[in-house]
Amino acid sequence: MRPWETNMLNNIGIPGLLLIAVVVLVLFGRGKVSSLMGEVGKGITAFKKGVKDGSDEIEKASAEKARDVTPEDEKDKA
């Protein structure tokens, strides 16, 4: 791979991003872009919820493994 190919995305800058945004708006229209961004937002929310549920499930499983296994007759001696 040539060196200038790896840095191409780093050199876009603000004017390049604005140009890309304008081209996307012209091609798809404001309504389509708006609905697309809404779907992206819903996807991000669902992803965050899934990650939270997964971490809660892992935490619950580790707490279950760490439960007190001391025999009943040994508990009173403490």
Mean pLDDT, 10 residues at a time, over the chain (78 residues)?
Answer: 59 87 88 89 95 90 74 67
Sign of the four-CA dihedral 38, 41, 28, 23: positive
Structural domain boundaries of the chain?
3-67
pTM of the model: 0.52
In angstroms, the CA 64 to CA 51 distance is 20
Q: Within a 13 Å sphere around the CA of 45, how many CA atoms are in the beta-carbon half? A: 6
